[in-house]
């Protein structure tokens, strides 16, 4: 772990009294999805303030002059940030956050220092540039600096918290809830005296793996002349972006699947208590990226064959041998009526036909499956094809995740022993057993990922997703620079 990379003294708390941050819910395309449509100019309006009291208080008079001048400030920024700026600076009792009578105050200098170090966190420092070339006696220049720094600091907080890009706009394979910050409350907290470093502590991912990635990024930049270093730099930057798409604080227990590594892990107490190889989807049946909760383990499952597999893989056999499915032990029904496969008119619409493989050692799902309801119909399961796990290329499922040690994973999520799982399987009958406590599962895609010892490992981009993410990040910076 790269201790000391956080920009805060060790004794600063990681949360403030008021809950400033709040999480809310928010094919394949190009970076063109990142457009200027979500950016606009800031328009601040203020009623006349100050009054008689400002005649005898030079500081209040200067503050009033600066706040009045914010109506002339020019800034193009994300719509939600623009709205927060307009709300705060339009409040009659608002006061400057970043300037005093001599210009930028101590907190402004602290915030600017953080923005200048944004590259350490895999961000682009050019996104957060604030013009500091102004006289401390010019209210208009001070107002421009005030509004600009507020906007860029909010953007920096938001980028660190949820990432610069919305993954759901990149590809239909991404399905992640978009996190949000209460930007208006954040400005109010700053005005009330909360230090910028405290807010930064609230948004950076808390898992040590994020710090491991940040430390690796600094090392790679120092050795970028070496072969592969530039590519690995991009992988780390993308991985840090992707970590921001996950919950800031990962739960005490969770299952984590990293597709490029072909690995599935069960985490408990912040460490991987169990790890195993995993099969993921073929190129034309890619496994999605999403989060869900494990609710059920199904023992001795049946397999309802998808229509696509019936069409593409079974019909050719049936043309040669109409009794093929009967011989293979499948049950067939037409509009709910069971019949031998040799008696079925296979030219009718496949939606009328159901094909089910009963429980047993040859079932395509093996002896158990682990269910976490999701719109992609993806689950983890056993497989009778155990030899496949010796392959270096484990992309051959139809999107679901086959586990090398499914009984170990089932025992972990059920808080029981493998022997107990074996006894349940030995009963032979299909049964769904709820887990005693729902376990979050993250089906992820990291081509750079640290192990528990802090060593960052790099993997092939098996689905070719990294260039799309990198292009979107770069396009985002271009949009910010020209708007």
Q: Is there a domain that residue 277 lies in? A: no
Q: Which of 8-22, 27-41, 383-397, 444-458 has the highest mean pLDDT?
A: 444-458
User: Above pLDDT 90, what percent of the chain?
Assistant: 80
Q: Is there a domain that residue 53 lies in? A: yes
Question: Can you tell me the mean pLDDT for 298-319?
Answer: 94
pLDDT band for 483, please (50, 70, 90 cuts). Answer: low
Beta-strand pair 401-403/431-444: unpaired
Asked whether the predicted pLDDT for residue 49 surpasses 80, the reply is no
Lookup: tokens for 397: 């499922």
pLDDT of residue 19: 31
Question: Can you tell me the mean pLDDT for 359-388?
Answer: 93
Q: Is there a domain that residue 362 lies in? A: no
CA angle 163, 376, 335 (to 5 degrees): 165
C-alpha span between 267 and 49 (Å, rounded): 56
pLDDT of residue 109: 95
More confident residue, 133 or 287: 287
Question: Can you tell me the mean pLDDT for 257-271?
Answer: 97
Domain shared by 309 and 193, yes or no = no
In the chain, what's the furthest Cα-to-Cα distance?
A: 99
C-alpha span between 319 and 261 (Å, rounded): 39
More confident residue, 372 or 54: 372
Domain shared by 203 and 309, yes or no = no
Domain shared by 317 and 203, yes or no = no
pLDDT of residue 180: 94
For 304, phi then psi, to 5°, come to -80, 110
Kindly report, residue by residue over 73-85, the tens digit of the pLDDT. Answer: 999 999 999 999 9
pLDDT of residue 443: 98
Domain shared by 194 and 64, yes or no = yes
Kindly report, residue by residue over 389-428, the tens digit of the pLDDT. Answer: 888 789 989 899 999 999 999 999 999 999 999 999 999 9
Asked whether the predicted pLDDT for residue 6 surpasses 80, the reply is no
Question: Can you tell me the mean pLDDT for 95-103?
Answer: 91
Lookup: tokens for 185: 């409350």
Question: Can you tell me the mean pLDDT for 356-371?
Answer: 95
pLDDT band for 37, please (50, 70, 90 cuts). Answer: low
Asked whether the predicted pLDDT for residue 27 surpasses 80, the reply is no
Q: Is there a domain that residue 220 lies in? A: no
Asked whether the predicted pLDDT for residue 282 surpasses 80, the reply is yes
Asked whether the predicted pLDDT for residue 216 surpasses 90, the reply is yes
Q: Is there a domain that residue 234 lies in? A: no
CA angle 114, 116, 117 (to 5 degrees): 65
How many domains does the chain fold into?
2
Crossing angle of helices 139-162/183-191, nearest 10°?
Answer: 130
> Tokens 């290329």 correspond to what residue?
393
* DSSP character string of 104-129: E-HHHHHHHHHHHTGGGGT--GGGG-
Question: Can you tell me the mean pLDDT for 331-337?
Answer: 96
pLDDT of residue 331: 95
pLDDT of residue 47: 74
Question: Can you tell me the mean pLDDT for 377-400?
Answer: 90
> Tokens 């729902």 correspond to what residue?
438
Beta-strand pair 368-371/353-357: unpaired
Domain shared by 193 and 322, yes or no = no
Q: Is there a domain that residue 1 lies in? A: no
Residue 192 burial (10 A CB sphere; 0-12, 13-18, 19+): exposed
Domain shared by 175 and 312, yes or no = no
Domain shared by 26 and 167, yes or no = yes
pLDDT of residue 32: 44
Global pTM? 0.88
Instruction: Show the domain range for 178.
Output: 21-211+469-482
pLDDT band for 60, please (50, 70, 90 cuts). Answer: confident
Q: Is there a domain that residue 43 lies in? A: yes
Kindly report, residue by residue over 118-127, the tens digit of the pLDDT. Answer: 999 999 999 9
pLDDT band for 26, please (50, 70, 90 cuts). Answer: very low
pLDDT of residue 3: 29
Asked whether the predicted pLDDT for residue 9 surpasses 80, the reply is no
pLDDT band for 14, please (50, 70, 90 cuts). Answer: very low
Average pLDDT, the chain: 89
Is residue 262 within 8 A of residue 443, CB to CB? The reply is no
Asked whether the predicted pLDDT for residue 22 surpasses 90, the reply is no
- Of 336, 357, 378, the one marking the end of a domain is 357
More confident residue, 52 or 83: 83
Asked whether the predicted pLDDT for residue 211 surpasses 80, the reply is yes
Kindly report, residue by residue over 85-96, the tens digit of the pLDDT. Answer: 999 999 998 999
pLDDT of residue 28: 45
Asked whether the predicted pLDDT for residue 23 surpasses 70, the reply is no
pLDDT of residue 57: 61
Dihedral, 54, 60, 66, 70 alpha carbons, nearest 10: -80
pLDDT band for 59, please (50, 70, 90 cuts). Answer: confident
Q: Is there a domain that residue 416 lies in? A: no
């Amino acid at each position: 772990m790269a201790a000391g990379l956080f920009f805060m003294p060790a004794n600063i708390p990681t949360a403030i009294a008021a809950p400033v941050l709040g999480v809310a819910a928010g094919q394949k395309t190009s970076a063109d999805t990142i457009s200027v449509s979500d950016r606009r100019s800031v328009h601040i309006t203020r009623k006349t303030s100050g009054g008689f009291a400002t005649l005898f208080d030079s500081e209040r008079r200067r503050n009033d002059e600066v706040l009045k001048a914010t109506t002339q400030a020019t800034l193009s920024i994300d719509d939600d940030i623009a709205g927060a700026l307009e709300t705060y600076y339009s409040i009659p009792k608002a006061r400057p956050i970043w300037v005093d009578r001599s210009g930028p105050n101590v907190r402004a200098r602290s915030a600017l220092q953080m923005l200048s170090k944004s590259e350490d966190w895999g961000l682009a420092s050019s996104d957060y540039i604030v013009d500091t070339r102004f006289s401390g006696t010019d209210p208009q220049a001070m107002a421009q600096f005030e509004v600009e720094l507020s906007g860029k600091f909010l953007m920096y907080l938001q980028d660190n918290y949820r990432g610069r890009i919305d993954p759901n706009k990149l590809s239909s394979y991404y399905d992640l809830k978009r996190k949000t910050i209460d930007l208006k409350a954040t400005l109010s907290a700053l005005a009330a005296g909360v230090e910028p470093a405290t807010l930064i502590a609230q948004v950076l991912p808390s898992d040590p793996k994020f710090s491991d990635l940040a430390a690796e990024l600094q090392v790679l930049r120092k050795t970028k002349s070496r072969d592969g270093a530039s590519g690995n730099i991009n992988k780390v930057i993308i991985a840090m972006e992707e970590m921001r798409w996950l919950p800031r604080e990962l739960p005490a227990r969770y299952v984590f699947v990293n597709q490029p590594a072909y690995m599935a892990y069960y985490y408990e107490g912040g460490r991987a208590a169990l790890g195993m190889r995993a099969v993921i989807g073929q190129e034309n049946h890619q496994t999605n990226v999403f989060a869900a909760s494990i609710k059920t383990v199904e023992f001795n499952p049946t397999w309802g064959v998808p229509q696509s597999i019936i069409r593409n893989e079974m019909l050719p056999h049936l043309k040669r041998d109409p009794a093929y499915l009967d011989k293979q032990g499948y049950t067939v029904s037409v509009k709910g009526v069971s019949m031998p496969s040799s008696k079925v008119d296979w030219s009718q619409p496949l939606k009328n036909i159901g094909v089910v493989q009963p429980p047993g050692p040859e079932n395509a799902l093996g002896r158990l499956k682990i269910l976490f309801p999701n719109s992609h119909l993806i689950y983890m399961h056993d497989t009778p094809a155990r030899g496949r796990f010796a392959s270096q290329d484990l992309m051959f499922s139809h999107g679901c995740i086959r586990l090398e040690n499914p009984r170990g994973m089932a025992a972990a999520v059920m808080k029981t022993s493998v022997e107990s799982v074996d006894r349940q399987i030995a009963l032979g009958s299909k049964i769904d057993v709820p887990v005693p406590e729902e376990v979050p599962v993250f089906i992820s895609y990291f081509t750079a990922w640290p192990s528990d010892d802090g060593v960052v490992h790099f993997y092939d981009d098996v689905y070719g997703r990294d260039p799309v993410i990198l292009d979107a990040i770069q396009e985002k910076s271009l949009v910010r620079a020209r708007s």
